[in-house]
Chains A and B, each alone.
Chain A
């Protein structure tokens, strides 16, 4: 066995050489000469492949029943620019991919990071600012990034949804959720891996401040399970495993529009609901920044906003957009909650780690 350990050691040392070598290359790329060289290559690519736009977005946006395909079809018809939708997973996954590719960006446009991820997006410096003309039609409260790196394209509130066929007496507040009658009834998501999960954690921070973990401890008996992604959790809810689920204020609109049922309803809570605004931005170092900006303009046009609202099932960012009747199923909170982005940036990691260790889940 000594010999085999030696061989393993040898293999590892060789791997180490490779690792060391590539690290040096990185450093070269970071130097000034590396940068200008890359800018030139980007310029060449731009000329060679002018008519191709590479979009990074979350999977449900790109899926057949999401807004992606319809947006792309109309955009290509109008401009002649071919579009490729890359959707490797949920928003956190997509953002991770863009950050990983930072030194060698392959995408042009990033769709999905919300107001809660803004701090991370800005800290990682992966986007370029763009002051789209259509922003004039977006109400001031939705513009969550004054520096215009991440532009709002739709919004909603995080909300607890319930199954009206199972639950006759739904909770009216975060406090109500802790009641014994809802024991093992609620499906939540992990804040480390899902944006609604993160949203709910911030929601409890916004309401309870530093005492948020005490609330979580009281809430724990009501929680059936904590899923990795919104998709998994919502799937459990619709399959009847739980009567309450963390989702969006607009979720019932989907069921009304596509399944013609009012069975699932979103709850407007007494303490208020946490606001989510989804954003889009041009990736720094993109090969086709002009096409990316054109796509943002299209997303914020009247046609684009209508497609996004009815297929992404979120409220449109441009308030003048006409909406189908089903959107009556979504509520407007009288008390929208939002944490300051500097506060999130400073506290986020510690809040999540404390949640992991002490939430009682």
Chain B
């Protein structure tokens, strides 16, 4: 073995040590608080106990909740996949004007704060909402025609709203990588398109769909605000909501910890399953398939594509556009006509104290806080994320699958459980000196990190080895090589990851709500409070600003992905 090769081997073997700081960071900010909380479920004043766990497992009430949680997640996943499938085909097979913009738009629901989705759903699907108003006018009835909210239907609809874009994107990505040979052979042999789809395409797509489905299932399993607000009543309660209630309100850390333990066992298993499938997918080289151009399409395909996007616009953008539209409305008197006005935006921008009874102070403060938390999270996650993905991509590990699992696990723990873990460590006086702002930034970082890594690691792995060998031959050391060659090359990944981190931090409400004291209202918390104090219209205005920030971030992502290609 020559010297150069030996040096390389030496470098490769030290991967584990290089990851130690990251593991240590995650241990302090994730594994420690979560484990401490979960262990509350196995502790009593006298020591260890399985009583809480037994009580949970033997109770018909909690069994019912577990079954409901599982069932709604399964149904939501299937519906999201069904709705995502045609879109996946369209994105992977067709080329048409505005495609990039539509692709960016479909990502918005995923990063919208749940409280805004709830607000949008009430205004759009509610008994007095847009859909019912239109239907009442059309049918001449004076009672609401559709009863969707406050039921199982509302939960499913909101989950599809949130998650179908994931299905769409992952299926599209998978579909792009499928070869055409088998299809063409089958077509030559005279098989119908339907038969080709069911016997060739679908089985080929299945791994992609399982991967997307397991992620969606995980999100629906952990869904919180949607179930809390749109479900309406104990009947539609999920594990996540019960954990929140037990710990936050009843301060029952024993029972709450035990229930969180059950929930976390399930979600960690799902995450592990997802990461394993995802790992298999990452190493596939995707083919860039040539796409059919809009003007070459058959009329039937054009109509199908148009109809699909009208449906998507309706389901997905109905609530969002309603929020945006309401933000420009003012009711002149209680029975008077509704008028267009910029009043709410003026109030948001007004100097604190300049108007009696306005919310300018809360609004300005929440904008400041959200931007500060968002950019702090962005910087912290990018630093940790790029270092981690660099180590993961450049060095060999004895147990690389395990290391990735340990790093990605925060995906599998609900932010409610994470927030409660922090709360227990902090408020119990154990880490009392840590300022709340820092705990929120750390919580946001932990939540955002897996997403940033998923954006960065494939980009880092794609860098050609011979480029790195060349730079090393010219004497560039690890750090210098990283800063001057690898980092610039993964810029698109950095921007994607950064936008995700920013959007996640801006929209996060569960852990923030648990950890935030009065001093740190964020935009979602301000929206929650505005809804609570009858300020629907200004809540919509603040929501609109948040939507626009997220939209800008994601258009930026797609612009860079475009340049990369």
The answer to whether B406 touches A15, judged by C-beta atoms less than 8 angstroms apart, is no
Which residues in chain A, 14-62, are within 8 Å of chain B measured between CB atoms? 14-16, 18-19, 22, 25-26, 29, 59-60, 62
The answer to whether B517 touches A86, judged by C-beta atoms less than 8 angstroms apart, is yes
A221 interface residue (CB < 8 Å to B): no
Which residues in chain B, 27-43, are within 8 Å of chain A measured between CB atoms? 27, 31-32, 35-36, 39
Please give me the residue from chain A that is nearest to B229 by CB atom. Answer: A232
Of the residues A15, A104, A184, contact of B429 by C-beta under 8 Å: A104
**A228-B234 Cα distance, complex, nearest whole Å:** 10
B488 interface residue (CB < 8 Å to A): no
**A359-B39 Cα distance, complex, nearest whole Å:** 32
Stretch of A140-148, A256-264, A265-273, A290-298 on the interface side: A256-264
B184 interface residue (CB < 8 Å to A): no
Given A15-B31, A19-B36, A103-B429, also A63-B123 (CB < 8 A): no
The answer to whether B150 touches A225, judged by C-beta atoms less than 8 angstroms apart, is yes
The answer to whether A239 touches B32, judged by C-beta atoms less than 8 angstroms apart, is no
**A15-B35 Cα distance, complex, nearest whole Å:** 6
Please give me the residue from chain B that is nearest to A224 by CB atom. Answer: B150
The answer to whether A235 touches B150, judged by C-beta atoms less than 8 angstroms apart, is no
A77 interface residue (CB < 8 Å to B): no
Of the residues B27, B126, B427, contact of A241 by C-beta under 8 Å: B126
Interface size on A, residues (CB 8 A): 68
A236 to B: closest C-beta gap in Å: 7
Given A87-B518, A100-B428, also A65-B357 (CB < 8 A): yes
B361 interface residue (CB < 8 Å to A): yes
Of the residues A14, A63, A361, contact of B27 by C-beta under 8 Å: A14
Q: List chain B residues, Cβ under 8 A from A227.
A: 229, 232
B251 interface residue (CB < 8 Å to A): yes
Q: List chain B residues, Cβ under 8 A from A239.
A: 122-123, 126, 128, 536
The answer to whether A228 touches B228, judged by C-beta atoms less than 8 angstroms apart, is yes
Which residues in chain B, 226-245, are within 8 Å of chain A measured between CB atoms? 228-229, 232-235, 245
A7 interface residue (CB < 8 Å to B): yes
The answer to whether A184 touches B122, judged by C-beta atoms less than 8 angstroms apart, is no
Which residues in chain B, 182-239, are within 8 Å of chain A measured between CB atoms? 228-229, 232-235
The answer to whether B250 touches A192, judged by C-beta atoms less than 8 angstroms apart, is yes
B529 interface residue (CB < 8 Å to A): yes
B399 interface residue (CB < 8 Å to A): yes
The answer to whether B234 touches A229, judged by C-beta atoms less than 8 angstroms apart, is no
A356 interface residue (CB < 8 Å to B): yes
The answer to whether A22 touches B250, judged by C-beta atoms less than 8 angstroms apart, is no
The answer to whether B533 touches A60, judged by C-beta atoms less than 8 angstroms apart, is yes
Please give me the residue from chain B that is nearest to A254 by CB atom. Answer: B534
Given A4-B406, A89-B513, A101-B429, also A64-B229 (CB < 8 A): no
The answer to whether B531 touches A235, judged by C-beta atoms less than 8 angstroms apart, is yes
Interface size on B, residues (CB 8 A): 58
**A223-B228 Cα distance, complex, nearest whole Å:** 16
Please give me the residue from chain B that is nearest to A356 by CB atom. Answer: B234
Given A15-B39, A234-B534, also A59-B249 (CB < 8 A): no
Q: How many contacts between A and B, using CB within 8 angstroms?
A: 158
Q: List chain A residues, Cβ under 8 A from B233.
A: 223, 225-226, 361
Contact with B along A326-361 (1 / 0, CB 8 A): 000000000000000000000000000000110101
**A26-B251 Cα distance, complex, nearest whole Å:** 18
**A156-B499 Cα distance, complex, nearest whole Å:** 48
A10 to B: closest C-beta gap in Å: 10
The answer to whether B430 touches A12, judged by C-beta atoms less than 8 angstroms apart, is no
Of the residues A22, A64, A88, contact of B428 by C-beta under 8 Å: A22
Please give me the residue from chain B that is nearest to A6 by CB atom. Answer: B402
B388 interface residue (CB < 8 Å to A): no
**A88-B531 Cα distance, complex, nearest whole Å:** 16
The answer to whether A60 touches B126, judged by C-beta atoms less than 8 angstroms apart, is no
A242 to B: closest C-beta gap in Å: 8
B464 interface residue (CB < 8 Å to A): no
The answer to whether B533 touches A11, judged by C-beta atoms less than 8 angstroms apart, is no
Stretch of A90-98, A129-137, A172-180, A317-325 on the interface side: A90-98
Q: List chain A residues, Cβ under 8 A from B401.
A: 1, 4
**A193-B147 Cα distance, complex, nearest whole Å:** 26
Given A8-B406, A15-B35, A97-B427, also A232-B245 (CB < 8 A): no
B10 interface residue (CB < 8 Å to A): no
Please give me the residue from chain A that is nearest to B530 by CB atom. Answer: A235
Which residues of A approach B to under 8 Å, CB–CB?
1, 3-4, 7-8, 11-12, 14-16, 18-19, 22, 25-26, 29, 59-60, 62-65, 85-89, 92-93, 96-97, 99-101, 103-104, 106, 165, 184, 190, 192-193, 223-232, 234-236, 238-242, 258-259, 261, 263, 356-357, 359, 361
Contact sample, A vs B, 15 pairs, CB 8 Å cutoff: A4-B401, A4-B402, A26-B428, A64-B362, A65-B357, A88-B516, A96-B251, A103-B429, A192-B245, A193-B248, A231-B531, A232-B229, A232-B532, A235-B534, A235-B536
Give 6 nearest A-B pairs by CB, closest first.
Answer: A231-B532, A225-B232, A4-B402, A104-B429, A15-B35, A240-B128
